[in-house]
Amino acid sequence: MQSTYLPPSAFSARAAIPDMDAYHALCAHAERDYEGYWGMQARANLDWQVPFTRVLDESEAPFYRWFGDGRLNVSYNCLDRHIERGLGGKTAIIFEADDGAFSHVTYSGLHARVCRIANGLRARGVGKGDRVVIYMAMSVEGVAAMLACARIGATHSVVFGGFSAKALQERIADAGACVVITQDEQLRGGKRLPLKSIVDEALALGGCGSVKHVVVYQRTGGGVTHVSDRDIWLHDLMADQPERCEPEWVGAEHPLFILYTSGSTGTPKGVQHASGGYLLWAALTMKWTFDIKPDDVYWCTADIGWVTGHSYIAYGPTAVGATQVIFEGVPTYPDAGRFWQTIERHGVSIFYTAPTAIRSLIKASDMDPAVHPTNYDLSTLRLLGSVGEPINPEAWLWYHRQVGGERCPVVDTFWQTETGGHMITPLPGATPLVPGSCTLALPGIMAAVVDEAGQDVPDGQGGILVVKRPWPSMIRTIWNNPKRYQASYFPEELGGALYLAGDGAIRDKDTGYFTITGRIDDVLNVSGHRMGTMEIESALVAHPLVAEAAVVGKPDDTTGESICAFVVLKKDRPGGADATALAQELRNWVAKEIGPIAKPREVRFGDNLPKTRSGKIMRRLLRVLAQGGVVTQDVSTLENPAILDQLAKAV
Ligand code: WT7
C-alpha cells in the first residue's frame, strides 16, 4: 500500500468540496442528468446576457456545441460583474517585475485598461471574429490585451515569446491575423531580449498580408524600428480612449482564442476554444481544484503563451474575482530563491508551478542552502499545485515538505491545451493524495482507460486515456482544419466517439486513481513544453547539409525529457571536432527555426537511420540508443541492422 496524505481537517472545513461524499454526489448528478448538471453549473458560475435554453447539441458530433443559444461576454464576466458587486477596489493583479519592483492593479484599474485597449483596437477596425496575435512577455498589458480582444469579440492567438520569427510567421499566417500586439523588448533574468524586431522579421518572411497594424507596448524603452502606417505604440493607441467600452455580446460558441500546440505530425495545430464553455470550466476549476477564496493570493508561474497562462492566469482567476501575482522574471534570478522570496513578499496562499521548476530548485538548494525554501517565511501558503508533466514522487514529497511545510495539499493537475482546463486532479479538501498520481477525474469528466479497439481495460492494466463524453471546455476544432480535428481526437480506430488525449494511463486496482504514463504519440514534453518530433525533424532537414533526421525523447532528471536528434548528412559523416562544431550549428539552427526550447540536447550523426524494409524509421530503437541502452529486440526486419552499432557509438 502506498502512503496516502489526507486533506488537513482545517482545510476541508472551509473547502468548496469538503469530502469525498460531496465529490461523489456531484459525479452522480452528472451521471444521472448530464445536461442538467452542466446547465446548472453554467447558470451558477457565469453571467449571461441572454440565457441559453439548450445545454449540449451533439447533432454534428464531434463538433459539439455547448450553451449554443446563450450570449455572454467573457471580459464582462472577468471584470464588470465583480465591479458591479463592489469589488472594484480589490487587487486583481500584483505585478512582480523581473527586477523586483512591484505594483498593484485593482479590478477597476484593469477594467479601465482593458476598455481603453478595446476601444483603441475598435477604432482601428478590429471587431468580432477578427484574429489578433499577441506576442508578449508576462505583463499586465499582455493579460489586458487578451481581455480586450474578448471584450470586442476578436479571437486572440497568443504566441509564446520564446518562439522564433519563423514560428511566429507561420502562426500569424495560419490565423490570418489583422493585428499583432507585441512589446519592444522583454526582461528576463536581468537581460533584455527583443520581441518587436522578431515581429518585423516574421512579417518580412511573407505570407502575413492580413496584418494591418502592429501595436507595441513600451516595456524597456529599447530602440525599435517604426514602420509608419503600420506600427503604433500601445500608449498612443490607448490615448484619449474612454475607460468604458460596451462589450460585444457573443454567442457561447464564439471562438475566444486559438492556441497553437504541437501534434505528432505536421505543422502546429491551432486549437480553437469557445467562449461560454471554456470560461465556465476555467471559473469552476478555480473554485474546485484551487478552492479559491476571496482573501487568497494566488500565483501561477506559467506564461500566457501556454494554455496554463490562459486558463489559470488570464481567465480563471479574473472570472472568480481573485487576487493574483503575475511574474515577469525567471525562477533563478537574482537567485534560485526568487519563487520563495516572492511568496513571502506578497503573502501567496495558492501556488501553482511545473515539476521542472521544482526539480531544478531542488538541485539549486542542494548546491546553495541559502536558497532553500525553509529559509523563507512561507506560512501563508495553504495549497500547492503542479502542472504540465508527471511529477515524480521524490519531487512531490519535497514540494509537500519543504515548500508546503506538510500542511498544504498538493494538486497534481492533468489536462491539455485541448481540454481547456483541469481534467484529472485531486480536490484539495477531499481527495486522499498519492504522490505521483493525479487521482480522479473531476465531476462530469468521463475519463477512462481503453485498449486499442476502444474497449475498457480493467483497473491495474495500462491503456489509452480517453474521455467518453464531450465537456464544455473542450477544443471545438483545429483552426482551418476540421478534418484534422476529427482524425486527431476522435479516431475511427476507437469508434469515432471517444476523445483521444494522446497519453497512456493506468488506474489503481484499489482506488481507481489514474497515473499518467506519458505520451503514446510522437510528442515530447521538455520542461513542460510540448513539442512534436516531426516539427524538430522538419527544422533539421531544412538545413542545407541535412539529408534526414529522426528525433526522440530521452528521460532527464530535471526537464522530464530531453531532445536527442539522429542526423544523416548529404555529405560524409563528420568526426571529432567537425562533428562537435556541426552539432552546435544544427542546435542553433533549430533554435532559429522554432525557438530555443526546441534545441536538441544531443545531435548524433550516422550514415543512415534504422529503417524497416518499407522505409519506416524505427524510433523505438532510437529511443533505446538515446538512453545509452543496447537494443535487445529482434532487428531482423531492419533494412540495415548494422547502423544501430554506428549510432550507439556516435555519442
Ligand atoms: C500534455 C499536455 C496541462 C497544461 C499545460 C500543458 C502532459 C500535463 C500533466 C500531469 C502528467 C501531464 C500530458 C499532456 N501533462 N499535465 N499533471 N501529469 N502529464 O499542456 O502543452 O497541451 O501538454 O502534458 O502528456 O498530454 P500541453
CA distance 618 to 17: 48
Instruction: Give the strands of the sheet with 410-413, arranged side by side.
Output: 102-106, 91-96, 323-327, 297-300, 350-353, 383-387, 410-413
- With cut-offs at 50, 70 and 90, classify the pLDDT of residue 65: very high
Is the beta carbon of 344 within 6 A of some atom in ligand 1? no
* Ligand 1: nearest atom to the Cα of 417: 22
Is-contact 269 481, C-beta < 8 A? yes
pLDDT tens readout for residues 520-531: 998 999 998 999
- With cut-offs at 50, 70 and 90, classify the pLDDT of residue 110: very high
CA of 235 to the centre of ligand 1 (A): 37
359, part of any domain: yes
Grid cell, residue 460, equals 491495474
CA of 170 to the centre of ligand 1 (A): 24
Q: 138: Cβ–Cβ under 8 A, 6 or more apart, which residues? A: 303, 304, 309, 326, 327, 328
Nearest one of 105, 160, 91, 45 to 298, comparing CA atoms: 91
Is-contact 473 273, C-beta < 8 A? yes
pTM of the predicted model as reported, rounded to 2 decimal places: 0.96
Grid cell, residue 310, equals 490562459
Domain boundary among 391, 416, 441: 441
Pocket test for ligand 1, best of 281, 311, 387, 526 (most atoms within 8 A of CB): 387
Is the beta carbon of 303 within 6 A of some atom in ligand 1? no
Which ranges constitute the DSSP H helices of 193-294? 196-204, 234-238, 276-288
Percentage, residues of the chain above pLDDT 90: 93
Query: What residue owns the CA closest to ligand 1's atom 1?
Result: 416
**In degrees, to the nearest 5, what angle opens at C-alpha 308 toward C-alphas 84 and 390?**
140
470, part of any domain: no
**In degrees, to the nearest 5, what angle opens at C-alpha 63 toward C-alphas 60 and 67?**
90
507, part of any domain: no
* Ligand 1: nearest atom to the Cα of 424: 17
CA distance 463 to 459: 10
pLDDT tens readout for residues 559-591: 999 999 999 999 999 989 999 999 999 999 999
Nearest one of 525, 517, 567 to 543, comparing CA atoms: 567
Is the beta carbon of 39 within 6 A of some atom in ligand 1? no
> 559: annotated binding-site residue?
no
CATH number of the domain that residue 585 is part of: 3.30.300.30
Residue type, 547: A
CA of 523 to the centre of ligand 1 (A): 11
148, part of any domain: yes
**Residue with the larger pLDDT of the pair 640 and 59:** 59
Pocket test for ligand 1, best of 389, 488, 499, 515 (most atoms within 8 A of CB): 389
Grid cell, residue 165, equals 520569427
Please provide the size of the chain in residues: 651
Residue 190 and residue 326 in one domain: yes
Q: Which residue has the cell 484529472?
A: 424
Q: Comparing 201-210, 401-410, 533-542, 610-619, which segment has the lowest mean pLDDT?
A: 610-619
CA of 128 to the centre of ligand 1 (A): 31
Is the beta carbon of 307 within 6 A of some atom in ligand 1? yes
Residue 433 and residue 537 in one domain: no
Mean pLDDT of 360-372: 96
Residue 533 and residue 434 in one domain: no
Is-contact 514 501, C-beta < 8 A? no
Mean pLDDT of 483-489: 97
Mean pLDDT of 121-144: 98
pLDDT at 198: 98
Query: What residue owns the CA closest to ligand 1's atom 11?
Result: 390
Instruction: Tell me which H or E stretch contains 532.
Output: strand 529-532
pLDDT tens readout for residues 136-158: 999 999 999 999 999 999 999 99
Residue 553 and residue 415 in one domain: no
Domain that holds residue 370: 9-441
> 414: annotated binding-site residue?
yes
Q: 599: Cβ–Cβ under 8 A, 6 or more apart, which residues? A: 563, 587, 588, 590, 591
Residue 431 and residue 564 in one domain: no
Instruction: Tell me which H or E stretch contains 130.
Output: none
Q: Which residue has the cell 532528471?
A: 557
457, part of any domain: no
> Please, which residues bridge with residue 555 across strands?
561
pLDDT at 429: 98
> Please, which residues bridge with residue 489 across strands?
none
Residue 175 and residue 316 in one domain: yes
Asked if pLDDT for residue 398 goes beyond 70, the answer is yes
Nearest one of 306, 398, 390, 405 to 358, comparing CA atoms: 398
> 388: annotated binding-site residue?
yes
- Pairing, β 179-183 against β 131-135: parallel
Is the beta carbon of 503 within 6 A of some atom in ligand 1? yes
CA 597: distance to chain centroid?
14
pLDDT tens readout for residues 376-392: 999 999 999 999 999 99
Mean pLDDT of 196-200: 98
The ipTM of this complex is: 0.99
Is-contact 637 651, C-beta < 8 A? no
> 262: annotated binding-site residue?
no
512, part of any domain: no
What is the overall mean pLDDT for the chain?
A: 96
Q: Comparing 43-57, 69-83, 621-635, which segment has the lowest mean pLDDT?
A: 621-635
CA distance 636 to 641: 7
**Residue with the larger pLDDT of the pair 3 and 140:** 140
Query: What residue owns the CA closest to ligand 1's atom 14?
Result: 416
292, part of any domain: yes
Grid cell, residue 486, equals 476529427
- With cut-offs at 50, 70 and 90, classify the pLDDT of residue 7: very high
Is the beta carbon of 416 within 6 A of some atom in ligand 1? yes
* Ligand 1: nearest atom to the Cα of 415: 3
pLDDT at 629: 87
Asked if pLDDT for residue 631 goes beyond 70, the answer is yes
Domain boundary among 441, 470, 495: 441
> 389: annotated binding-site residue?
yes
Is the beta carbon of 592 within 6 A of some atom in ligand 1? no
> Please, which residues bridge with residue 441 across strands?
424
Residue 437 and residue 537 in one domain: no
Mean pLDDT of 97-110: 98
Query: What residue owns the CA closest to ligand 1's atom 18?
Result: 390
Is the beta carbon of 388 within 6 A of some atom in ligand 1? yes
CA distance 15 to 622: 48
CA distance 473 to 471: 6
Nearest one of 281, 220, 235, 613 to 418, comparing CA atoms: 281
3-class SS at 119?
helix
Asked if pLDDT for residue 445 goes beyond 90, the answer is yes
φ/ψ (deg, to 5) at 580: -60, -45
- Count of domains observed in the chain: 2
pLDDT tens readout for residues 313-359: 999 999 999 999 999 999 999 999 999 999 999 999 999 999 999 99
CATH number of the domain that residue 285 is part of: 3.40.50.12780
Percentage, residues of the chain above pLDDT 70: 100
Sign of CA dihedral 80, 82, 86, 88: negative
Residue 158 and residue 273 in one domain: yes
Residue 436 and residue 552 in one domain: no
CA distance 536 to 541: 9
Nearest one of 341, 354, 319 to 102, comparing CA atoms: 341
Is the beta carbon of 308 within 6 A of some atom in ligand 1? yes
Asked if pLDDT for residue 444 goes beyond 90, the answer is yes
Grid cell, residue 319, equals 472570472
Residue type, 102: F
pLDDT at 636: 82
Is the beta carbon of 248 within 6 A of some atom in ligand 1? no
Instruction: Tell me which H or E stretch contains 60.
Output: none
Is the beta carbon of 412 within 6 A of some atom in ligand 1? yes
Residue 426 and residue 540 in one domain: no
CA of 528 to the centre of ligand 1 (A): 7
Is the beta carbon of 417 within 6 A of some atom in ligand 1? yes
CA of 418 to the centre of ligand 1 (A): 10
Is the beta carbon of 356 within 6 A of some atom in ligand 1? no
Nearest one of 386, 424, 382, 380 to 302, comparing CA atoms: 386
- Pairing, β 91-96 against β 323-327: parallel
φ/ψ (deg, to 5) at 95: -90, 115
> 412: annotated binding-site residue?
yes
Q: 378: Cβ–Cβ under 8 A, 6 or more apart, which residues? A: 340, 343, 344, 403, 404, 405
Nearest one of 131, 280, 137, 109 to 222, comparing CA atoms: 137
Asked if pLDDT for residue 1 goes beyond 60, the answer is no
* Ligand 1: nearest atom to the Cα of 502: 26
Residue 405 and residue 533 in one domain: no
CA of 525 to the centre of ligand 1 (A): 8
Cis peptide before 355 (omega within 30 of 0): no
CA of 331 to the centre of ligand 1 (A): 20
The HSE-up count of residue 21 (CA atoms within 13 Å, CB side) is 1
Domain boundary among 426, 441, 456: 441
CA distance 563 to 531: 10
Q: Which residue has the cell 480563471?
A: 316
Instruction: Tell me which H or E stretch contains 482.
Output: helix 482-489
Is the beta carbon of 437 within 6 A of some atom in ligand 1? no
pLDDT tens readout for residues 583-596: 999 999 999 999 99
Mean pLDDT of 21-35: 98
CA distance 218 to 233: 7
- With cut-offs at 50, 70 and 90, classify the pLDDT of residue 277: very high
Residue type, 255: P
454, part of any domain: no
Mean pLDDT of 99-117: 98
CA distance 284 to 291: 9
pLDDT at 613: 86
Residue 539 and residue 436 in one domain: no
pLDDT tens readout for residues 221-253: 999 999 999 999 999 999 999 999 999 999 999
Is the beta carbon of 161 within 6 A of some atom in ligand 1? no
